Structure 1
Amino acid sequence: MPDFTIGPSDFLLDGRPFQIISGALHYFRVHPDYWADRIEKARQMGLNTIETYVPWNLHSPRPGEFDTTGILDLGRFLREVAAAGMYAIVRPGPYICAELDNGGLPPWLLRTAGLGVRRLEPQFMTAVTRYLQDVLEIVGPLQIDQGGPVLLVQVENEYGAFGDDQTYLKALAEVIRTAGTTVPLVTVDQPTDEMLTAGGLDGVLRTGSFGSRVEARLETLRKHQPTGPLMCMEFWDGWFDYWGGRHHTTSAADAASELDALLAAGASVNIYMFHGGTNFGLTSGANDKGVYRATVTSYDYDAPLDEAGNPTAKYFAFREAISRHAPTPSSVPPPAPSSAAAPSSVPSSVSSPAPSSSLSPAAAAPEFNVALADPIGLLACPGGSWSEHHDVPTLDELDARLAIFRTELRHGGPAALTFGEVRDRVQVFLDGAPVGVLERERHERTIMLPHTRGRLELVVEDMGRVNYGARIGEPKGLIAPLLLGTTELSDWSVCPIDLDHLPRLWHSAGPTPTTIGTGPTAWRATFEADAQSDLFLRTDAWGKGFAWINGFCLGRYWRRGPQHTLYVPAPLLVAGTNNLAILELETPDSPTATFTTHPWLGHTDL
């Protein structure tokens, strides 16, 4: 079997120096039918390795579970890496950040009383040990010394930015080793003296995360890693977007120049990201460094492969830089299609207007519209079940991401409604009429009610858990106290919205309303497709909400932008009739769904 070790100055593959040229590709952000395509395009760019995080929260949505089906089939993903003749790096955390909800930590875990996050605390370590055993049961047989592709396994993730508990890191490394890991272990931290000291572990190779000033970063890393290979485990070639911000892009030429400098120095590299993919469903996280910013659905990241897997200018600039230091295949992937065929036929209600000027100029391509129909108002919580609570529960206590809270007011005149904190958004209704919205990112806590007699309803949304910093694991929803004037409100009826069930709502909600009411409304439509081409669902005419294709949640949309399309991978479609469902929390400009063949991720400047 092949042998992979850490030498005095290099990685050694069967005793010979080996420079890792890797790219990040998260299996959980890419449809499984596209894994092989993305891996092959990585090989064609000149990469020899694929790196992935492992998301604990997605694999274990509930205690005692470890799901490896569909998009979570880590074993299949690693075998496809091997089939392409490439190597792999696995980074299981347990904390991974990755702009993922809660940084990859399961919310149920952090509701455990007395649990200490990312430190040597018995409850946390018991749960982490079981998780890592589950992961490494898959990874173990796929290590290079057992004939598989895995070269390295990472311990924790940028721990020096969080803490300095060396006993925790040592215990974690021991768990990983005891679970059967025989390949070298690594840590990663930003290359500052403080972080490399706090997050590093003697006997484990330290690596860095940075995207510029290569020479200085490597010099700092070498101070803390006197022997062994130098490696940038996260070479940042782009950035993520947040709702209300701009679409982040970076110079392809500048990024390629920094990559060239890294490779010329003999360092190994993992490009973060090679292909970002999509935060399908409700997987995107958030940051809060004084202002809460929720991450958008697209994880395009301005990477060498765009969200739909097409090569960009950065792809070819990186390929050229790599070719100066390592052999690159003669074949290259085809350019992005200028357009793709619209579905073979569409319902009679469909019209084909000219593309909107609000869309990207690149989207001047075939579009087709589908009328949304059969609206169901959700303030009555059709298909759901109500529970009674004296005090207002958190969304965590309800195991919900979206819920309706209702109470009766028996006062009279106008008064202020004040919350301890809103996490992350609440829509306020009185007797079914909208009063206003409070948002966490604006630090809003108080709204004036025009009267205080009647039915008060609150639609509360968790927009993504913080994935970095001290606010990881905080409760979501309405944080007490809830005051009407100076009086605390009590006696609540609460109905969680089952978002997994929503596409089936029309089969279980009874008679369908024929008029649009106020508040959140579910809509549906059908359309015909040939299931051979990716599509993008335009959202610029809608307010805020979620969309599903054939029961699969594409993710969130929001008029605030920057992104105004949701990616629809062709494997989600069927040849023939397809189903679209949306949950609109506000009010659409038009009850119409528009599909196009190009994305619009937003303006690059505000």
Structure 2
Amino acid sequence: MLTRIPVIYMMMPSVLLLCLLVSFSLGDLPTNYEYYTSDGISSGLSTDQPTFYLNGKEIYIYSGAIHYFRVPRAYWRDRLRKLRAAGFNTVETYIAWNLHEYQSGVYDFGNGGSDMEDFLHLEEFIQTAQDEDLFVIIRSGPFICAEFEFGGFPSFILRDGQDLWVRTDNELYMNYVTRWYNVLMPILAQHQFTKGGPIIMLQVENEYAITGYKDHNYLWHLRQLMLDNGIVELLVTADNPWKGTDGAYPEYFLMTGNFDSDAQTNLDTLKSLQPNKPIMVMEYWSGWFDYWGQQHQNKTADQFKEVYEAILSYPASVNMYMFIGGTNFYFLSGAQNLAYDDLNTKFTPMTTSYDYGAPLAENGAYTDKYWIAQELIAKYNPIQTKLPAVPDEIKPIYYPWVTLDKQITLDTLLIHALSDTSSNLISMENMNINGGSGQSYGYVVYRKTGLTLSANSVLKIEGRVCDTVIVLVNGVRVSPILETSSDLNNFGTWRTNDSTLILNTVDLTDVTVDLLVENWGRVNVGAYRQYKGLWEGNVLINGNIISDWTLYALEFKKSWTNSLTDWTSVTSRDINQPVLYKGTLSITGTPGDSYVYMEEFTKGIVIINGFVLGRYTKMGPQQTLYLPAPLLKEGDNDIMIFEHYQPAEQVKFVIEHVYTNH
């Protein structure tokens, strides 16, 4: 690969041109770090002029977003090298507070004991970025949005109830933030550019203007916490330019903008808000995300190119959100509630896939947008540095179909689950489990035993379910199946308020009623105190309030799932209650990437060797789950499906995503 040669050279004699080509060949160019640090490091990013200067040299930041917690650790180097090979000089990532502090005061930065531990080697990710000749932008929140579960907040903070108000200078909230930042910031401080590391910029909060709070004391305190913990690099905020200065202290932070259209107007707005300062787009949206039950999103390559080129030619620095979207593994996809209340009024959950229509597909494959970005950066970047060769793709493979021949029914699963008792209904977050941190993810089952039900007894759930409920009478499901998008309008979902259901048609005594509630993902936009389970009101049968419940937490943590021994052979697939099924995938040789095809199932989760791969639902649009090779091993692999309704007999594998709607 050669650098761009000015047009005048093309008119020179061929021998001279050949000499120039050789002299300007890739091998003679400095690396990114050689160019900016060859004379030593004396300063970080400067914003005292209309363009950025790094260590005294002009720089346009060409960044791409890669979230370490959405890409398997074994693939970090591959994705980062692909970023650098396209001409980018910087990688941007959020920091997921809810993963690193997975229980109150308990932290995981790799090998820390959580199910996501292998994704959480934050310092390794930062160091790998530097090894791959990339600078780093850190967006540390504490709120990150990111279409991620609870916008990155840990759910245990909700245990403080109505006295806690996130994203403000609220004392209860800031106590949690202070404790977290006092752990996180010293780690990041060691990797700052002026300390010899790659971090050149850190963001304070995220799209704060959208809250409407305008709590400048809050932003000031976040800044002070960072400074007190050794942060010296440039601090920025990021908001939609049309929000003005509502999300920032312009005297303390450089404002950056988020948008994907009308680049000229948005960039002009940023310039007018900060005269004679560098202009940067923190989020240029390369694509978009999907919601369960809605159509698959697709931003075309032409749409992508038009706005990206307008930004580069302005000229402005820009971070592409996303360069690779990756996957919402485990239970980590977020949601929106555009009613902007905490009552689930317009809850809209997001899919397991965060492919985002990005330049790199979810599995790291190149898309048309990759080559467009490479072409445009080469065209507009005034600084030429050495780039690696474009890495080969990791090709997905087919695996043999796996027969699900073992099962554990819901009744048996509950024998092994953590439990709590309460006279009244409480949310999963307020259960007295996990060292006082409550339940974050999965399912909570509310059980009432010893009931006497006359024929046609009516169950009523006051308020809304958070988020869906399956009702069982003596272990048999009596609530409707949620299979299609239109089914979300029926009993059992957040869309029905004060919903009712007939439990039985004949008189029954000594009855057990189970209400299995699934957390489909806490909102990242639209509400900031969203509890999961049944908590908005009472549960009544024939008008009588039911009390004294036993609650069971089905969290499907890896250690718990792998310890289950009560497997029986599958004799029927019409049990009419949620069932955990298991089969064996035998692999000879080194495992490869694949996709688990789930359209023949109805709704539930896929578990690979104890690790929750993610959610699926037949309603779509996503019908496949990306299965990265690092989650597999040579030999026998456990494939488990927790199916809520109607299973298929076999699990099938394909080599690309399938999108359909039902």
Match of 1:7 in 2: 48
Shift in Å at residue 45 of structure 1?
1.1
Q: 1:531, 1:571 within 8 Å by CA — same for their partners in 2?
A: no
Q: 1:416, 1:446 within 8 Å by CA — same for their partners in 2?
A: no
User: In structure 2, which of residues 91, 105, 123 is the aligned counterpart of residue 50 of structure 1?
Assistant: 91
CA–CA separation in structure 2 for the residues paired with 1:200 and 1:161: 15
Q: Residues 341, 456 of structure 1: CA spacing in aligned structure 2 closer, same or farther, 3 A cutoff?
A: closer
Match of 1:553 in 2: 612
Query: TM-score by structure 2 length?
Result: 0.83
CA–CA separation in structure 1 for the residues paired with 2:641 and 2:96: 27
Residue 196 of structure 1: SS of its match in structure 2? coil
Shift in Å at residue 216 of structure 1?
0.1
Q: 1:81, 1:149 within 8 Å by CA — same for their partners in 2?
A: yes
Match of 1:183 in 2: 233
User: In structure 2, which of residues 186, 198, 211 is the aligned counterpart of residue 149 of structure 1?
Assistant: 198
**Match runs of 1:119-158 below 5 Å:** 119-158=168-207
Shift in Å at residue 503 of structure 1?
6.8
CA–CA separation in structure 2 for the residues paired with 1:280 and 1:542: 19
Residue 258 of structure 1: SS of its match in structure 2? helix
Shift in Å at residue 341 of structure 1?
4.4
Shift in Å at residue 14 of structure 1?
2.1
Q: 2:136, 2:200 within 8 Å by CA — same for their partners in 1?
A: yes
User: In structure 1, which of residues 424, 432, 441 is the aligned counterpart of residue 475 of structure 2?
Assistant: 432
Match of 1:350 in 2: none
User: In structure 2, which of residues 523, 533, 557 is the aligned counterpart of residue 477 of structure 1?
Assistant: 533
**Match runs of 1:529-548 below 5 Å:** 529=587, 530-548=589-607
CA–CA separation in structure 1 for the residues paired with 2:199 and 2:562: 44
- Spell out, residue by residue over 1:169-214, the C-alpha distance to the aligned partner (whole angstroms, 9 max, x if none): 111111111110111100010111x453344442210000001110
Code of the residue aligned with 2:470 in structure 1: it is Q
Q: How many residues align?
A: 575
Question: Are 1:465 and 2:522 an aligned pair?
Answer: yes
Match of 1:213 in 2: 262
Shift in Å at residue 383 of structure 1?
1.9
- Spell out, residue by residue over 1:1-51, the C-alpha distance to the aligned partner (whole angstroms, 9 max, x if none): 432222311111121211000000000000001000000000111110000
Give the structure with higher Rg (CA): 2
Residue 135 of structure 1: SS of its match in structure 2? helix
CA–CA separation in structure 2 for the residues paired with 1:126 and 1:274: 34
Question: Are 1:375 and 2:433 an aligned pair?
Answer: no
Question: Are 1:384 and 2:417 an aligned pair?
Answer: yes
Q: 2:169, 2:217 within 8 Å by CA — same for their partners in 1?
A: yes
CA–CA separation in structure 2 for the residues paired with 1:134 and 1:389: 35
CA–CA separation in structure 2 for the residues paired with 1:341 and 1:115: 49
User: In structure 1, which of residues 166, 175, 184 is the aligned counterpart of residue 216 of structure 2?
Assistant: 166
Q: 1:238, 1:250 within 8 Å by CA — same for their partners in 2?
A: yes
Shift in Å at residue 336 of structure 1?
6.9
**Match runs of 1:372-451 below 5 Å:** 372-380=404-412, 381-398=414-431, 399-400=438-439, 401-407=442-448, 408-419=450-461, 420-437=463-480, 438-451=491-504
- Spell out, residue by residue over 1:279-338, the C-alpha distance to the aligned partner (whole angstroms, 9 max, x if none): 00011111111321111100000000000001101111121111211248473344674x
- Spell out, residue by residue over 1:248-277, the C-alpha distance to the aligned partner (whole angstroms, 9 max, x if none): 110112211211111111210000000000
- Spell out, residue by residue over 1:396-427, the C-alpha distance to the aligned partner (whole angstroms, 9 max, x if none): 12333312222243241324322222000001
Q: 1:503, 1:581 within 8 Å by CA — same for their partners in 2?
A: no
CA–CA separation in structure 1 for the residues paired with 2:286 and 2:397: 32
Shift in Å at residue 92 of structure 1?
0.5
Q: 2:479, 2:492 within 8 Å by CA — same for their partners in 1?
A: no
Shift in Å at residue 153 of structure 1?
0.5
Deviates more, 1:124-133 or 1:277-286: 124-133
CA–CA separation in structure 1 for the residues paired with 2:568 and 2:204: 54
Shift in Å at residue 492 of structure 1?
1.9
Q: Residues 483, 450 of structure 1: CA spacing in aligned structure 2 closer, same or farther, 3 A cutoff?
A: closer
Match of 1:272 in 2: 321
Residue 401 of structure 2: SS of its match in structure 1? strand
Question: Are 1:295 and 2:350 an aligned pair?
Answer: yes
Q: 1:375, 1:514 within 8 Å by CA — same for their partners in 2?
A: no
CA–CA separation in structure 1 for the residues paired with 2:572 and 2:501: 29
Shift in Å at residue 574 of structure 1?
1.0
Q: Residues 198, 35 of structure 1: CA spacing in aligned structure 2 closer, same or farther, 3 A cutoff?
A: closer
Residue 331 of structure 1: SS of its match in structure 2? coil
Code of the residue aligned with 2:239 in structure 1: it is D
CA–CA separation in structure 2 for the residues paired with 1:52 and 1:31: 14
CA–CA separation in structure 2 for the residues paired with 1:450 and 1:132: 50
- Spell out, residue by residue over 1:488-540, the C-alpha distance to the aligned partner (whole angstroms, 9 max, x if none): 11122222213115874674437667444221101111112233420111111
CA–CA separation in structure 2 for the residues paired with 1:315 and 1:112: 45
User: In structure 2, which of residues 365, 370, 373 is the aligned counterpart of residue 318 of structure 1?
Assistant: 373
Deviates more, 1:533-542 or 1:439-448: 439-448
CA–CA separation in structure 1 for the residues paired with 2:479 and 2:376: 53
Q: 2:558, 2:611 within 8 Å by CA — same for their partners in 1?
A: no
Shift in Å at residue 133 of structure 1?
2.3
Question: Are 1:247 and 2:305 an aligned pair?
Answer: no
Shift in Å at residue 485 of structure 1?
3.3
Residue 467 of structure 1: SS of its match in structure 2? strand
Q: 1:19, 1:268 within 8 Å by CA — same for their partners in 2?
A: yes
- Percent of residue pairs identical: 34
Residue 478 of structure 2: SS of its match in structure 1? strand
Residue 595 of structure 1: SS of its match in structure 2? strand
CA–CA separation in structure 2 for the residues paired with 1:503 and 1:525: 18
Q: 2:408, 2:567 within 8 Å by CA — same for their partners in 1?
A: no
CA–CA separation in structure 1 for the residues paired with 2:126 and 2:559: 33
CA–CA separation in structure 2 for the residues paired with 1:450 and 1:206: 56
Deviates more, 1:453-462 or 1:232-241: 453-462
Shift in Å at residue 157 of structure 1?
0.5
Code of the residue aligned with 2:354 in structure 1: it is Y
Code of the residue aligned with 1:397 in structure 2: it is N
Shift in Å at residue 445 of structure 1?
3.6
Shift in Å at residue 450 of structure 1?
4.5
CA–CA separation in structure 1 for the residues paired with 2:498 and 2:598: 29
CA–CA separation in structure 2 for the residues paired with 1:121 and 1:14: 38
Deviates more, 1:563-572 or 1:88-97: 563-572
Match of 2:435 in 1: none
**Match runs of 1:27-176 below 5 Å:** 27-69=68-110, 70-113=118-161, 114-162=163-211, 163-176=213-226
Question: Are 1:16 and 2:57 an aligned pair?
Answer: yes
Structure 1 unaligned spans of 5+: 343-366
Q: Residues 370, 491 of structure 1: CA spacing in aligned structure 2 closer, same or farther, 3 A cutoff?
A: same
Q: 1:294, 1:463 within 8 Å by CA — same for their partners in 2?
A: yes
CA–CA separation in structure 1 for the residues paired with 2:274 and 2:561: 55
Query: TM-score by structure 1 length?
Result: 0.91
Q: 1:543, 1:559 within 8 Å by CA — same for their partners in 2?
A: yes
Structure 2 unaligned spans of 5+: 1-39, 111-117, 340-345, 432-437, 481-490
Question: Are 1:528 and 2:560 an aligned pair?
Answer: no
Match of 1:495 in 2: 552
CA–CA separation in structure 1 for the residues paired with 2:54 and 2:89: 13
Q: Residues 164, 386 of structure 1: CA spacing in aligned structure 2 closer, same or farther, 3 A cutoff?
A: closer
CA–CA separation in structure 1 for the residues paired with 2:199 and 2:595: 35
Match of 2:8 in 1: none
Residue 582 of structure 1: SS of its match in structure 2? strand
Q: Residues 368, 137 of structure 1: CA spacing in aligned structure 2 closer, same or farther, 3 A cutoff?
A: same
User: In structure 2, which of residues 390, 395, 415 is the aligned counterpart of residue 332 of structure 1?
Assistant: 390
